[in-house]
Structure 1
């Protein structure tokens, strides 16, 4: 497994402090974020998942704890839209340059509006996908918000 991805390169360029963690990714897991938390031995609320969505047909990214579900109504409202839906996996892969299960909010091929769920943003440290299945970066969510140019809003 490569430890250098567009995500880790973006973190390095920005001077963000982070630690790498790897785990055995299970493509058959019902909920990838919860499987990652279990494999890392971390609380699910501290392992953040990255979801690609469409708000009024426009792409966006949302980051939240792996044990939470996004409210599409709250997400749409936070981005000034009327409706939100999950992006099709093939579209998410094409837009981000990452494979589903390895989507990171950092180093995506195209910058899109990003929302970090308020409880996740308040954590002192959390795991976020490092741009590859089975690769996580542990960092301060405040750095995630800053580097991704994200908005913080309650979306769960």
Structure 2
């Protein structure tokens, strides 16, 4: 496989099996995760978005189904914090090395604590951003957890 992004390079280095899925990214599509799921003909329950958050002023990464709503209270609790908020997009881009719309939990510039929605474990595979807009990777939920050293938790509202 080619090392198309830092995310796929990190997956290869970790020995994780994955498949690349590309689609035409539309920045005007509104909810880009739902657009991605529709573009590749995949059940939105299997397509996950990567969100960067601040928990008690410390960066963290959460990976949740694209159609789901995040509960900041549950995010804070998952990381043992008191409060959580979305990381501003410019900060997320600097922290991860990826552009918004192409942020992946794999191969980030700075490794941060990561949580994967426990819903992922019920799926035979998950589809997560592969490090650039319009570029996804399909892999097992267990491999996603292993590659990011993630915890799994109830993160949804």
TM-score band, normalised by shorter chain = over 0.9
CA positional deviation for 1:3: 6.2
Unpaired runs of 5+ in structure 1? Answer: none
> What corresponds to 2:18 in structure 1?
18
TM-score, scaled relative to structure 1: 0.97
> What corresponds to 1:60 in structure 2?
60
- Kindly report structure 1 stretches of 4+ aligned residues shifted beyond 2 Å: none
1:1-27 Cα shifts (integer Å, max 9, x gaps): x96100000111111111110000010
> What corresponds to 1:147 in structure 2?
147
| Matched residue count | 155
| Alpha-carbon RMSD | 1.1
Unpaired runs of 5+ in structure 2? Answer: none
2: CA distance, partners of 1:54 / 1:118: 20
TM-score, scaled relative to structure 2: 0.96
- Contact 1:72–1:84, Cα closer than 8 Å, also in 2: yes
Structure 2 residue 19 is matched with structure 1 residue 28: no
1:57-108 Cα shifts (integer Å, max 9, x gaps): 1000000110101100001011011111000000000000000000000000
